[in-house]
Structure 1
Amino acid sequence: VEHRSLVNVVGWIAPFLRCDEQTRAAYSFSPGFDLSMMQIFPPLLHGGAVIPVPGELDHVKLREMFSGRQANTLALTPTHLDLAARLGLRPAGIRALHLGGENLTTATSRWARASFGPDCLIVNIYGPTEATVACTVAVVGDDASRASTPIGVPVHRTSVAVLDEQGHDVRDGELGELYVTGVQLARGYLGRPDLTVDRFVYLPDGRRAYRTG
């Protein structure tokens, strides 16, 4: 992953996530988890603070994070939210919640929307490491008609498309594979040229794309 790719996504997504001088983002993910980049760089870029959460994110630390006494911006996986729901946690003072790393079901998003309240920005982030962490974002609303929450729209200078085996757009309702194009694509896999050739391909129009599988 190149520096320009991270600069692109952070520069675009930070204002989208309402990061400013009042942002206090909990840093709870391992640095080996790519979504941790969204906990670190967006708030710092806009004068906010990053609050480290040491150790494994267990129910004790999750309860403290939900209290809002230290951090007011959280980035979690849907699994963390499901745990919070089972524990009966009620967040206070949280202004933004970023979700990613897993499929976000409608049931989980509905609980989050009801629990965090209308003033909290809740965003579903999708993106493989090969496309620099976050390539689409969606604001989580109150729509309960879907089994899963949509992954949203592409970030700046990035495009996504559902294509068939020949690299052509599929019709609505047809199955296909999600491809990502744009400046956020990684160079490839270190020491694995075979895998790079398999996953990073060129579309019929000449654009380089990542096959998400």
Structure 2
Amino acid sequence: MDTDGAGLRERKKQQTRIALSWAAIRLTVERGYDNVRVEDIAAEAGVSTRTFSNYFGTKGEAIVARHHDRARAIAAALRERPAGEPIWEAITGATLAGFALGEPVTEGRPADHSWAEGLRLMVAEPALQGEFQKAGAAAEAEIAHVVAERTGADDLYAWLVAGVVGAALNVVTREWLRAEPQPPMDELLRDVFGRLAAGLPEPH
């Protein structure tokens, strides 16, 4: 069996999927959701519309794919954290690793007002809310599975932790998009997950 060839094909497929998702995000941020067609996304990524259809059923799926990919990366990073590490410390490290992935959508781009506003509008787009909810549910399931593996806890605990992680990531994203100037993402992540690790004490 040509395992090297198979591995290369899988990497190329993943690269194409990522390129299509980032193309969908870039165009939506720049033009608005209703002004982007599947044909535009395929052209931006340098592939045919048929190739697009091999990866995604709709432009909404393509936009939200990176959200799901990051959650999967966080779950994978959590699985690799040291076995004896406290759960919230492990989750913080895994989340930082997930957000450290390359972000071509912002690479070389200044964090100007118009770009930030475009991101806000994209996240708030009503037509995308169902896709974001599906991606969030799938992400929580993956994280809950890893939490159960690490801790040996029952499903109630694992799903509660996963739900809190999902809510925390939503808060981080909302705050990052709201703030002007936008703070470093790793600082926000450390702040939010540090509060959770401390038991979310009341502010003084």
Instruction: Tell me if both proteins adopt one fold, taking TM over 0.5 as the criterion.
Output: no
Q: What TM-score do you get using the length of structure 2 for normalisation?
A: 0.28
Q: Determine which structure has greater relative contact order: mean sequence separation of CA pairs < 8 Å that are 6+ residues apart, divided by chain length.
A: 2
More strand by share: 1
Q: What TM-score do you get using the length of structure 1 for normalisation?
A: 0.27
